[in-house]
Structure 1
Amino acid sequence: MENSTEVIEFVFVAFKFSQSLQQIVFLIFLLIYTLLLSGNILIMMTIRADPRLHTPMYFFLGKLSFIDLCYSSVTVPKMLVDFLSERKVISYNACITQLYFFHFFACAECFIFTAMAYDRYVAICKPLNYSTIMNKHLCLFLVAATWMIGFVHSNIQTALTMQLPFCGPNEIKSFFCDIPPLIRLACTDTTIIDAMIVANSGFVSLGCFLTVLISYIGIVSAMLKIKTVEGRRKAFSTCASHLTVVTFFFGPCVFIYMRPSTTLQADQVIIVFYTVIAPMLNPVIYTLRNKEVKTSMKKLWGRKVQYNK
């Protein structure tokens, strides 16, 4: 398909701060990004190193940490560079590439959350058949499906966006290339393409959300049948972390894509939350609420400290 755009670069206009304030914000986000990288890498290394964590639940958690790391790395490094730059510019090709990988990893995260919800459903509602149902082949299939669906989704979204001609203006009201702010710059009627993009995103996000919701309805129903308080507490503790991070991910996404237009500042706060803050909080939530992960981390890194001595 031949590209008919006349715009060769876009300018981000999301953060209009003084230079001194931008340097302070740069340091804050650099710290957040460092914590995000270190937290998710730590979880992946711990799960890989401890055989006791080689279960479906932690298998999916490791994949989630990897996706979170990649998902944020699509946008945050460029944002950090822009905080120190006078002109916050991105080329057309780089913008399309960023858009492609952002939707690829965002879609993959949706489906890995769905796989994790199904895993918890089987663990709580069908505990006697858990090892049979959640076998290695099914886990690998679910992860492979996650990447494949992300690939198809991002290709559709990117192909639809690339059909649009961009003749100017070229100012994107965001800190990265996403479809909603980009599509507003097209110099043609975008009604049909906009509807196709929303339908594709809605099918993915709504399908994942409904699957997670149905899974947790079954989980809650099973938990209410547990007679002992200790049994209920244990069942709830295995699902609370996952339910928290799912809320952090789907809540802002639904708001930003489905609500009427709000102010630019409000939009940017929400976008920063689900692209930067939530991926940083995910490893914190899982480690603080999960005794097995905390125990494994202490033993793993305790052995490394003793070895280094």
Structure 2
Amino acid sequence: MTVVLSNAGNIWTYRGSLGPDHWHIDYPHCGGTHQSPIDLQTRDAVVDPTHLSPIVFYGYDRVSNLNYTLENNGHTVQIGLNEKTMMISGGGLSDTYIAEQFHFHWGAVDERGSEHSLNGRYFPMEMHIVHYNKKYGNISSSVDKADGLAVLGFFFEVGRFNFHFQEIINNFGDIQYNDEKVQIHSIPMIDLMPARLANYYRYVGSLTTPPCYESVTWTIFNETIEIAEEQLVQFRTTIFENDKSDGGVSMDLSDDYRPVQCMFRRRLYASHPSLKYNAATQNVMVVGDGNSAASNEPHRISLFFMCSAWLWFLQLFFSL
């Protein structure tokens, strides 16, 4: 999750020697045991509809006269919410959280792009709406607190043309390169979200970008957002990670997602019994290239052994 501090400190990327496998060298929190994203294994979810009541949204249906700040920060497309009037509470959250910004993670093809996965299935894009705890005053003071941030996550699926998101995409020509930004007309956030928001998953985790502070209460909604293939192509072909002054070939920003992390001893919670279904049923779910979600099985096995080895190392280290 790209928030403040994402451009601070050492340089990091999503590929090569500065990619996710190496983040922990310069950012120790990235090697923690409560990291994000994760694979949402629904068969392991604890159903808790009493605690996980519907989230209460304040100001999400209003539009002010202030503009949003649309920015390419070299890691994602981010929209800064300049007026801090949108808030959430309830839904098992301990406090009131104020919306700071929202941003996207997307893949070069439809079969990948989301940071979280659902029973091994990935989506072409994921949106995060980042909120900070009101009691800390601002996001800079909240980002490293255990209860500092609450992030709402939404999966995208290829489908109908989304006119609301097109209002954002229409401005991509002004933010093609790193560190470019433009003011755009504000949009009611409720228009960008699914209609049904009562069903969601919950777990405690971290920022998905350096410094990877373990300060996030994650809410991942079950209902997806539809977007047309040609709109996804705009993300993939017009947004670059390099500076305009670099010259030469522009570097595509696609595949700006961190691989799923070990769950360790954390719990995944669900707000409704319908969200806890047998993961085996997902093997018949068709993804973009016609393959079933069963094709992700080797990845899940690899993740299992990696997490087991990491847990063994931690136990050995702390026993010394």
Q: Is the shorter-chain TM-score for this pair beyond 0.5, marking a shared fold? A: no
Considering fraction of residues, name the structure with more helix: 1
- For this structure pair, what is the TM-score category when the shorter chain's length is used for normalisation? under 0.3
Structure 1 or 2, whichever has the larger Rg, is: 1
Considering fraction of residues, name the structure with more strand: 2
Taking structure 1 as the reference length, what is the TM-score of the superposition? Answer: 0.25
